A and B are shown apart, each in its own frame.
Chain A
Amino acid sequence: MKKALQIALGIVTSVGGFLEIGSVTTAIQAGAAFGYQLLWALLLGTICLIFLVEMSGRFAAVSKHTIVDATRERFGFPFFFVVLVGMVLVAFMVLVAELGGIGLSLQILTGLGFPWWAIPVSFVVWLLMWKGTFSLIENGVSLLGLVTLSFVVAAVRLHPDWGGVAHGLVPTFPNDQKAKYGFLAVSILGASISPYLMYFYSSGAIEDEWDESYIAVNRAVATLGMSFGGLLSMGVLVTAALALKPNGIHGETFEQAALLMTTAFPKWGLFLFAAAMLVACLGAALEISLAIAYFFAQGFGWSWSQDLVPSKNARFCFTYTIIILVATVPLLLGVDPIKVTMMSMALTAATLPLAIFPFLFLMNDPIYLGEHRNGWVSNSIVAVIIVISFVLALISIPLEIVGG
Chain B
Amino acid sequence: MDLVRDVLDKKLVDSEHCEMGRVDGLVMSLEEHSQPRITHIQIGGTTLWMRVHPVLGNLAAKLARKWGPRRAEPVRIPWSRVLTAGRDLKLHVKARETGAIDWEIWIARHIIERIPGGGHEEAE
Contact = CB atoms under 8 A, between A and B. Distances in A.
- The answer to whether A and B interact is yes
Interface of A: 63-65, 69, 72-74, 76-78, 80-81, 130-131, 300-303, 309-315, 317-318, 367
A209 to B, nearest CB: 15
A314 to B, nearest CB: 4
B19 A318 contact: no
A309 B118 contact: yes
Contact of A311 (B8, B20, B51, B118): B118
Give the dominant DSSP class at A's interface.
helix
Contacts of A300: 21-22
Contact of B117 (A72, A81, A310): A310
Contacts of A310: 112, 115, 117-119
B10 interface: yes
Contact of B52 (A77, A130, A309): A77
A121 B10 CA distance: 38
Contacts of B87: 63-65
B73 interface: no
Q: Rank and list the top 4 A-B pairs by shortest CB-CB distance, nearest first.
A: A309-B119, A314-B108, A301-B22, A303-B19
A318 B118 contact: no
Given A76-B8, A76-B51, A130-B117, A311 B22 contact: no
Nearest to B111: A318
B48 interface: yes
Contact of A314 (B5, B12, B111, B123): B111
17 contacts: A72-B22, A73-B10, A74-B5, A76-B4, A76-B51, A77-B9, A78-B51, A78-B52, A300-B22, A302-B19, A302-B21, A310-B115, A314-B107, A314-B112, A317-B112, A318-B111, A318-B112
B11 A301 contact: yes
Nearest to A73: B9
Given A64-B87, A77-B9, A310-B112, A315 B103 contact: yes
Contacts of A74: 5
Contact of A301 (B21, B119, B120): B21
Give the dominant DSSP class at B's interface.
mixed
Interface of B: 4-5, 8-12, 18-22, 24, 48, 51-52, 87, 103-105, 107-108, 111-113, 115, 117-121, 123
Contact of B107 (A64, A72, A81, A315): A315
Contacts of A303: 18-19, 104
A249 B56 CA distance: 51
Nearest to B107: A314
A300 B20 CA distance: 9
A69 B112 contact: no
Given A314-B105, A315-B103, A367-B5, 15 more contacts: A74-B5, A76-B9, A77-B51, A80-B9, A130-B118, A131-B117, A300-B21, A301-B12, A301-B19, A310-B112, A310-B115, A310-B119, A312-B108, A313-B104, A318-B107
Contacts of B19: 301-303
B24 A314 contact: no
A76 B87 CA distance: 16
A310 B123 CA distance: 12
Contacts of A313: 104
A311 B111 CA distance: 9
Contacts of A65: 87
B68 to A, nearest CB: 15
A69 B107 contact: no
A302 B9 CA distance: 13
Contact of B104 (A64, A77, A315): A315
Nearest to A72: B9
A314 B119 CA distance: 10
A309 B119 CA distance: 6
A69 B11 contact: yes
Contacts of B115: 130, 310
A302 B104 CA distance: 8
Nearest to B52: A78
A109 B115 CA distance: 32
